């Protein structure tokens, strides 16, 4: 243990001075042994790369890396047709000091799996095809079916580090994340309770609309958009329809005005089914943004379609996307106040007003509970970063990061039992113990 600490401090000092790599220290606070925790680091440095967790070496993704035999489910032998997958994972028990040094990298994923490595397929560093095939749990023949895993997302460049835990697709196991930096920088995010408590709390607190998000067999809570009930033809296909229809109806007759924060105040009205917004401040100039039609439930849940549409193809400002993100977040949080007087500038940043009126995204609400997530920050859906409620940590001058596998749950350890003096002379027993019986060697037993 002392050697591991010294190695960690040495790497931290080195990285602080050079700033070319950042040490990630993995702390195992889970029910899995280090030998049962598998870690891989993938991302982009010019092209698609993977980082050897043991040596820190940066390697180009290449089909020749696909040497690990994976499971073949119903004949699915993967993209290469041989059932072979990338040899890019290492057990935590084999990573020196539990520390991986990660260089500046874009679009990176730290993948952490339990009981087995994940089966990724590498296509290549660049060209077509390139990159990798990720787990697709919607595919019943995917080789990663049944493997629990979590993801840390990060980008690290000359402007600093952006890193987060994520619940956008699912929750599979508690995670904790801490980032340290120069000038006494420190931020923390992650779950506060153990895995079984999270599963129990979900079952006890959500409505029947969302209860199906949990897979009790695997112990996974899926985002609602990932289960059949919220997809086309499912029982919850139109979950947000009444709310969306009410918004479109009300604001075809009057203006919706909202404060977007940094992007200023916007005034919008529905015109022939298209929501047209005009910026009323000088923060973005005389600007216009559009939502081309009312979104359906899937688009609200995933921030896609008309809520992720660059209508005007603006090269820099992307104002359509700015407004669409605000509206999507407001739908998920039920922050658009249909009772607000005409012309009122609505403030959608006030979390005390979120999730008060149905319908709202109960999955998102759950991850922002104070007893579940540290400081109530989480990435419960794609636009949780609107008004900075996501789990993203940005450090302009980072020195190190700690990833706590299992989250910040602290087991309750009972206090040690006070020693009992051996005494065979009843007259010498303390008065408070006169009514207790003792065994032959003086241990107190129940009467």
Q: How confident is the model over 11-46, as pLDDT tens digits?
A: 344 333 435 899 999 999 999 999 999 999 999 999
Residues of the chain with pLDDT under 70: 1-19, 282-285, 412-447
- Candidates 332, 311, 333, 331; CA nearest to 322 is 311
Residue 410 domain-assigned (yes or no):
no
Residue 41 domain-assigned (yes or no):
yes
277 and 165 co-located in one domain? no
Per-position b or e across 320-344, b if 16+ CB within 10 A of its CB? bbbbbbbbbbbbbbbbbbeeeeeee
Residue 101 domain-assigned (yes or no):
yes
pLDDT at residue 20 in the model: 83
Residue 155 domain-assigned (yes or no):
yes
Non-local (6+) Cβ contacts of 310 within 8 A are 318, 320, 321
Non-local (6+) Cβ contacts of 441 within 8 A are 422
Residue 258 domain-assigned (yes or no):
yes
Q: Do you find a cis peptide bond into 157, omega within 30 degrees of 0?
A: no
11 and 133 co-located in one domain? yes
Q: In this structure, what are the phi and psi dihedrals at residue 239, rounded to the nearest 5 degrees?
A: -55, -45
Give percent of the chain with pLDDT exceeding 70.
Answer: 87
309 and 388 co-located in one domain? no
Domain that holds residue 344: 241-356
65 and 114 co-located in one domain? yes
Q: What is the rounded (10 degree) CA torsion for 245, 249, 255, 259?
A: -10
pLDDT at residue 390 in the model: 98
198 and 222 co-located in one domain? yes
276 and 389 co-located in one domain? no
322 and 443 co-located in one domain? no
Cα–Cα dist 374/393, whole Å: 13
Residue 411 domain-assigned (yes or no):
no
Non-local (6+) Cβ contacts of 432 within 8 A are none
Domain-ending residue, one of 336, 356, 376: 356
223 and 283 co-located in one domain? no
Residue 412 domain-assigned (yes or no):
no
98 and 28 co-located in one domain? yes
Note whether 218 and 146 are within 8 A (CB). Answer: yes
Q: Based on the structure, what is the number of domains in the chain?
A: 3
How confident is the model over 354-406, as pLDDT tens digits? 999 999 999 999 999 999 999 999 999 999 999 999 999 999 999 999 999 99
Residues in the chain: 447
Q: Do you find a cis peptide bond into 429, omega within 30 degrees of 0?
A: no
Residue 96 domain-assigned (yes or no):
yes
155 and 92 co-located in one domain? yes
Question: Residue holding tokens 């499912």?
Answer: 234
pLDDT at residue 316 in the model: 81
The CATH number of residue 339's host domain is 3.30.920.50
248 and 378 co-located in one domain? no
The pTM of the whole model exceeds 0.85: yes
219 and 319 co-located in one domain? no
Cα–Cα dist 50/41, whole Å: 6
The CATH number of residue 112's host domain is 2.60.110.10
Cα–Cα dist 319/311, whole Å: 9
């Amino acid at each position: 243990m002392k050697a591991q600490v010294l190695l960690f401090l040495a790497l931290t000092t080195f990285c602080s001075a050079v700033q070319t790599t950042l040490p990630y220290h993995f702390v195992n606070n889970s029910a899995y042994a280090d030998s049962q925790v598998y870690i891989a680091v993938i991302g982009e440095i010019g092209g698609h790369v993977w980082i050897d967790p043991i040596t820190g070496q940066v390697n180009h993704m290449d089909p020749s890396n696909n040497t690990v035999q994976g499971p073949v489910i119903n004949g699915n032998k993967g993209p290469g047709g041989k059932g072979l997958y990338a040899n890019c994972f290492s057990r935590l028990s084999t990573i020196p000091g539990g520390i991986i040094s990660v260089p500046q990298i874009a679009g990176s994923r730290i993948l952490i799996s339990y009981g087995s490595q994940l089966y990724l397929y590498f296509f290549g560093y660049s060209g077509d095809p390139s990159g990798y095939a990720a787990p697709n749990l919607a595919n019943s023949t995917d080789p990663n079916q049944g493997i629990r895993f979590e993801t840390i997302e990060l980008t690290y460049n000359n402007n600093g580090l952006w890193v987060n835990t994520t619940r956008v697709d699912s929750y599979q196991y508690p995670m904790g994340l801490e980032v340290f930096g120069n000038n006494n920088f420190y931020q923390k995010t992650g779950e506060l309770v153990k895995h079984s408590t999270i599963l129990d709390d979900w079952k006890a607190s959500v409505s029947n609309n969302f209860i199906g998000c949990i897979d009790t067999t695997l112990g996974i809570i899926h985002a609602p958009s990932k289960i059949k009930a919220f997809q086309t033809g499912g029982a919850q296909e139109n979950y947000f329809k009444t709310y969306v229809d009410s918004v479109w109806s009300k604001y075809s007759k009057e203006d919706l005005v909202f404060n977007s924060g940094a992007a200023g105040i916007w005034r919008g009205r529905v015109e022939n089914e298209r929501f047209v917004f005009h910026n009323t401040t000088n923060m973005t100039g005389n600007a216009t943004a559009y939502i081309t039609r009312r979104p359906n439930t899937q688009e609200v849940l995933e921030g896609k379609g008309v809520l992720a549409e660059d209508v005007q193809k603006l090269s820099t400002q992307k104002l359509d996307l700015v407004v669409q993100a605000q509206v999507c977040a407001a739908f998920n949080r039920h922050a658009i106040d249909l009772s607000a007087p005409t012309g009122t500038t609505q403030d959608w940043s006030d979390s005390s007003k979120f999730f008060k009126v149905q319908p709202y995204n109960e999955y998102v609400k759950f991850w922002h509970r104070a007893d579940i997530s540290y400081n109530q920050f989480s990435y419960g859906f794609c636009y949780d970063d609107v008004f900075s409620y996501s789990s993203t940590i940005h450090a302009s001058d980072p020195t190190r990061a700690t990833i706590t596998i299992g989250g910040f749950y602290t087991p309750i350890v009972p206090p040690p039992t006070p020693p009992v003096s051996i005494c065979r002379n009843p007259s010498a027993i303390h008065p408070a113990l006169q009514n207790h019986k003792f065994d032959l060697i003086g241990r107190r037993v129940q009467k």
